[in-house]
Amino acid sequence: MIAETWVINASPLILLGKLGRTDLLEQLAKEIMVPQAVLLEVASGGAADAGLGDTLAWARNRVIDDVFVPISISGWDLGAGESQVLAHCLLGRYRAVLDDGEARAAAKVHSVPLVGSLGVILRARKAGLIPAARPLVEQLAEAGSYLSAELIRQALSKVGE
């Protein structure tokens, strides 16, 4: 386990939930936090209908109150969930778990450490938590994550696959 707290956004939460692998988050981070705005996004997106009832229950056990979003974040015009993830990370020096390109760009500008769904899988492989990354990476793409063939190739080469 790494001594880091991660704040997760809706997209990686939903994708890892579809894969049945939210456990990887718990094994890779000291603590996982889900801002209220993220929970609302997941719940309003028909999570229960999409077979994500367990993921929603998992997220409810890690929910944190929303905080004030500074103008340096709100100026990016991100979704409520992404804005809350970044606001929490700025307050607590946490790692953001984000897939959205614009939100990732905002995180980089604000020097917020980040990881995405693909990065979670790669970290799990490097930590020996999964025997191979390729099956989960393929499932991630099937679950709705846009991953180019080149990105998949580069990512898998980083873990020797």
- Label residue 50 by pLDDT band (50, 70, 90): low
Does 40 have pLDDT greater than 90?
Answer: yes
Query: For the chain, which domains are there?
Result: 5-118 (3.40.50.1010)
Does 1 have pLDDT greater than 70?
Answer: no
**Model confidence over 112-140: pLDDT tens digits?**
999 999 999 999 999 999 999 999 999 99
pTM attached to this predicted model: 0.92
Burial of 77 (C-beta count, 10 Å sphere; 0-12/13-18/19+): exposed
Could you say which DSSP state residue 34 is in? E
Does 46 have pLDDT greater than 80?
Answer: no
What percent of the chain has pLDDT above 70? 94
Does 147 have pLDDT greater than 90?
Answer: no
Question: For residue 48, what pLDDT is reported?
Answer: 53
SS3 6: strand
User: Length of the chain in residues, anyone?
Assistant: 161
Q: Residue written as tokens 């990686």?
A: 12
CB atoms within 10 A of CB 11: 23
Does 52 have pLDDT greater than 90?
Answer: no
- Which whole number is the average pLDDT over 97-125? 97
Dihedral of alpha carbons 92, 95, 99, 105, sign: positive
The alpha carbon torsion through 35, 39, 45, 51 (nearest 10 deg) reads 130
- Label residue 159 by pLDDT band (50, 70, 90): very high
- Which whole number is the average pLDDT over 73-84? 96
